[in-house]
Amino acid sequence: MLKLGETDPRLIDKLGTLAARVVEDALASGLTWDQAVVALGVAAKAMSAKAASQSGAAPADYALHAEKRLKEGMDRGAAVLQAYLR
């Protein structure tokens, strides 16, 4: 199971399910792993821009926050998805 400290187990399950779906879609996309990672960055930037526009905040602030959260995700081992990818 995805380990995120004291996070609600239902949220952990949702995060793991989404991450597994993203991995499966990336592998099936025909992109190289490098290109798929770029696409994830573009998607994160698009999500942060949408969130910023909905809140009236500066897009740059949200983009910076998205970068931080992507790094936090990268700091976790890929092994956390094994159960979801079987």
- Rounded to two decimals, the pTM is 0.76
Distance CA 72, CA 83 (A): 20
Q: What is the largest CA-CA distance in the chain?
A: 41
Q: Is the pLDDT of residue 83 over 60?
A: no
What are the boundaries of each domain within the chain? 9-81
3-state secondary structure of 9: helix
**Other CB atoms within 10 A of residue 51 CB:** 15
Residue 82 binned pLDDT confidence (cut-offs 50, 70, 90): low
**Residue 26, both tokens:** 């990336």
How many CA atoms within 13 Å lie on the side-chain side of 28? 6
